[in-house]
Structures are given as structure tokens and as C-alpha cells.
Amino acid sequence: MLTNTLTNSTFGIFQSLTIKMRQVLIVYFFFISIVASLAAENQNQEILVSTIAELNSAILQAKPGARIILKDGIWKNTAINFNSTATVSAYITLCAQTPGKVILSGNSTLIFSAPYLVVDGFVFRNGSIDGGSVITFNSDNCRLSNTVIKDFNPSNFQTAYYWVYFQGSYNRMDHCLFKGKSNMNPVVQNFEENARYNKVDSCIVKDIPYVKHANGREIFRIFGYGHADQPGDDGAYFTIEYNLFDHADGEGTEIISLKSNNNIVRYNTVIASRGGLVGRRGKNNIFEGNFIFGQGQAGTTGIRVAGSNHRVINNYISDVTEDGLRLITGEYYEKSLTSNFAPKKKELPKYLQVKDGYFAHNTIVNCTGNGIDIGFAYENHWPNLQMILLPENNKFVNNVVFNCTGNSIIEAVQDKNPPLDVFSFKPNIFEGNISWGSKTSGLGATKGIKMINPKFTFSKDGFLRPDKNSPLINGGVNSDLTTDMDGQKRDDLKDIGADELADSPIIHHPLNSKEIGPKWLIIKK
């Protein structure tokens, strides 16, 4: 009845119009129907290509919403410049006929040169390039998914290139696999300028061999604003989340190296990978909810930071052979304190002072080194280097350190001899922390660290979690964290450490290769 009423009403309005107005409306609606029809056709456009010439032609001719499909097989020496004209509401996709069966070999490369483009399902292997990068995001709002780069290495180790290079903004790389990079340069790099808000998630990086004294082979190196210690609050705003690093050694020092401001590293899993998650330069970086399992592998570290205003929260770190959490000493650079000062860099201090950070609800167990090391490398190479700026005004809240071979918590003690006697540092703040299994050092008297057995038990998922009689349960002080490492809600009575006793479903957990990485590879397994 309502439909008939509306139809009759509309028809009545139409009848009341002049003939000219009716004609205009008819032409308008006809035009709209044609546009809608063409849009629907473009959305369904599929172009199958089997040669490089056909591919280049399809890239130029593709309409918004189209899919360009590469025929299964080996595509050797194929340089893809993906620059189709897409729109924010209708991306253009370049994909494999069968995911995983389009092999890009030889000196093949891929460049995203226009926005709103998607690449899906390719494999790069049996090849190498002379320099630059295998895959380059040279535009904005693009996406790389379900792609593999495997052993795409030169014969000469010193031939340096990246596997993935971000040179634009708001790009995403997800469900990819990177395996076996053995030459110089990081696996993934973010450009110094005009590369912001990029994201890598649900990827696997594995079996990246360790090469001694080969600095510059980080797995992720995130440049951006803050790398040169700029005073402003801009940054790279790079997010690295839900990724698996499995025996991803590289240079053996920094797995993820943040050299910029305002980045997020969260919910990643690290297995037996040399080095650690590192805030190397910059400020306002977040390390949250990461699972780091050193498994006794030589050279493994937990989290290391330099710079100010970092948040290191809800991380579970076990069985690393070096420190679990390391706050490095900053280098004083304003003037020479002695005649021996010989800085390694001409314009920047080697490390920035760690200050105003928040280190809360971390669980650190079974480290061969120290559990928490505050002021690492104090007076290192003094006086040639002026590594004398101790961490200050950092808050350590509700952390638990258990059964570490070195010190449970160690804080460097200031040298009061001239010329260092002129320096004064604000104290670091300790609240609600528990330490057990080894001594503390350099801290002096503090009520914020209790030496008490946390009473852990191994749970079914392989974690050391508090047992029912643990002093960790409801033993913490107030904090601003509302969830724990599992993604479960924290109540008002905070538990100490990364784990809050809760009955709600677990949201975050250690990742494995059966749940992330290329979807077609997961199905194949």
C-alpha cells in the first residue's frame, strides 16, 4: 500500500512538470543509468595477460575496479611499473591467475607508481637485481598481499638492495613471506621523507642468515622524521603488527630498528632471532604486547630503547641470552668535556638520552643477561665518547623479572668525579615491581621493587603464568593499561606482569606460520 502511494505520488509530480522539464529528467536518468552500467562493467573487468607487452597494455587500459591477471608460469626479467588509473572507491588489482604460481625471476621488479592499486599472489625467486629494491611503494594508498620473496639474492654479498621499500604514505603490506635474504641492506625500509602511516601486518620473516660485522642488515629499518633528532612532533607513524620473525637474524643486533618518531610495534612474535626490537632514534614509540622467545639463541635480546617518551608495555620476554629490557645511556654532545672527545658522528650524538618513558606490565624471565638494564654502556669508551647521560624520569610500573642469570634489575651509578660531577639527573620511578632469582644493583633503597617469588607455573600454551597463589595477582599499583598481553581486560586491581588473570577469551597469542603469511600458502600446508 505504501509502495503504491509513493509511486502514484511520484507519477503525479512528474505529470505536473512542463514537457521541457520532463525531457531534461528523462535525459538525466538515462545518463545516470549508462554511467552506472559502465561502472558495473568496469568493476567486473578482467584482463588475462600472458606476455610483458600484454601486461603493459593492460596496465594502461584498465579501468577503475578492474583485475589484471597474470597467466601462471615463469615471468623472467619482468619490470612491472604498475601505474593504472584507479580511484579511492574502485581499486585496480594486479594478481596471479593462481596464487603462488606466477614466478617473477631474473631481474624482475615491481613498482607501485600510482595510488589505489593492489598486487596479490606473486612469488619472487631465482633472481637478483643490481641495486634499489625488488618491490617499491612509490605512491600512496596501495597494498601488497599474499606475496613471497624467497632467496632473491645476488652472488656478491656486498651488492646491496632492499626487498621492499616504502617511499609513499598510507600503504599496507600484509600476509607476505620473506625468506632467506643474504645480502646487504634491510629486508624492509621506510624512506626518510614523505613516507608516513605505512603498515606491515600478518607477515612472516624467516631464515635470514646472520653475518658478523655486517651492520645495516636490519629486518625492518624505519626512517622518518626524528631520525636526525628534529625537535618537532612529526614522525613516520609506521605500524608493525601481528608479524612472525623466525630465525630472522640479519645483522644480529636490531631486528626492528626504529629511527623516527611515533611508530607502533605490537603483537609480534619473535622466535630465536638474534638482536631485538629497538627504538634506535626518535621519540614517542610504542612497543606493546610482543612475544619474544630467545630459546637460548646466542645474541638474542628483548627490547632496547634510546630517546624519550617511549611506551614499553605488556611484553613477554623469555630465554634471551642478553638483556630483556635495555635502556641505553645517551651521549653528551653539546661540548667537549675533555681534550680526548672524538665523536663517531659529526652532527648527531651516538645515542639519545632515555627519559620520560613508561615501562609497565612486562614479564621478563630466564634471561642470561640482565632482566632490566638501566644505563647500559655508561662511560663506554670514555672520554673518546661522552656516553654519560643516564636515563632519567622513567617510570617502571608493575613489571616482573624472574630467574635471570645476570642482575634482575641494574641501574648504572653516576660517576661523580670531575668533569662529570656537574651533571644531575632526575631519579627513575619504581612502583609495584617484583624481582626474583637474582639480585638488583645500583638502585639503592626503593619500595617500588619487592624481592618475592612470583610463583609461576607453566600453562598449556607454554607460558609462565601466575599460579592461583601468586603474589602477582591483584598485587600491582594503579596503571593506565586497560588490557594485558592476551588482549584480556585488566580490572581495577592490577596484576603484576604482562598477564592479567581473566576468564574472557584470549585475543592475542604467539603467532605461527599456519595462521599468517600468504593465504594460499596456509591453505597449501
Residues 37 and 96 in one domain: no
Residues 164 and 265 in one domain: yes
Question: How many domains does the structure of the chain reveal?
Answer: 2
Residue 458 lies in a domain: no
Residues 37 and 76 in one domain: no
Per-residue pLDDT of the chain (525 residues; tens, 9 = 90+): 434 443 444 445 545 656 655 555 554 555 455 444 444 445 689 999 999 999 999 999 999 999 999 999 999 999 999 999 999 999 999 999 999 999 999 999 999 999 999 999 999 999 999 999 999 999 999 999 999 999 999 999 999 999 999 999 999 999 999 999 999 999 999 999 999 999 999 999 999 999 998 999 999 999 999 998 898 999 999 999 999 999 999 999 999 999 999 999 999 999 999 999 999 999 999 999 999 999 999 999 999 999 999 999 999 999 999 999 999 999 999 999 999 998 877 678 999 999 999 999 999 999 999 999 999 999 999 999 999 999 999 999 999 999 999 999 999 999 999 999 999 999 999 999 999 999 999 997 678 999 999 999 998 888 999 999 999 999 999 999 999 999 999 999 999 999 999 999 999 999 999 999 999 997 665
Residues 85 and 214 in one domain: yes
C-alpha cell at 290: 610482543
pTM of the model as a whole: 0.91
Residues 7 and 81 in one domain: no
Residue 475 lies in a domain: no
Alpha-carbon gap, residue 56 to 69, rounded angstroms: 12
Residues 17 and 88 in one domain: no
Task: Evaluate the omega torsion of the peptide bond into residue 383 and state whether it is cis, within 30 degrees of 0.
Answer: yes
Mention every residue, 6+ apart, whose C-beta is less than 8 A from residue 40: none
Residues 19 and 136 in one domain: no
Residue 417 lies in a domain: yes
Residues 120 and 14 in one domain: no
Mention every residue, 6+ apart, whose C-beta is less than 8 A from residue 36: none
Residues 27 and 105 in one domain: no
Q: State residue 36's pLDDT score.
A: 47
Residue 512 lies in a domain: no
Residues 29 and 170 in one domain: no
DSSP 401-440: EES-SS-SEEEPPPP-STTGGG---PPPEEESEEEESS-E
Residues 312 and 239 in one domain: yes
Residues 31 and 160 in one domain: no
C-alpha cell at 127: 633472481
**Could you give phi then psi for residue 204, rounded to 5 degrees?**
-120, 130
Residue 511 lies in a domain: no
Q: How far is CA 455 from CA 28, 380, 403, 458, in A?
A: 75, 37, 11, 10
Domain that holds residue 402: 72-453+519-524
Alpha-carbon gap, residue 91 to 114, rounded angstroms: 11
pLDDT 10s digits, 424-433: 999 999 999 9
Alpha-carbon gap, residue 134 to 205, rounded angstroms: 16
Alpha-carbon gap, residue 144 to 113, rounded angstroms: 13
Cα atoms in the 13 Å half-sphere on the side-chain side of 315:
31
DSSP 245-278: EEEE-TTSSEEEEEESSS-EEES-EEES-SEEEE
Residue 419 lies in a domain: yes
Region label for 66, one of left (φ > 0), alpha (ψ between -120 and 50) or beta (otherwise):
beta
DSSP 431-487: ESEEEESS-EES--S-TTEEE----EEE-TTS-EEE-TT-TTTT-----S--B-TTS
Classified as helix, coil or strand, 165 is strand
Residue 381 lies in a domain: yes
Residue 449 lies in a domain: yes
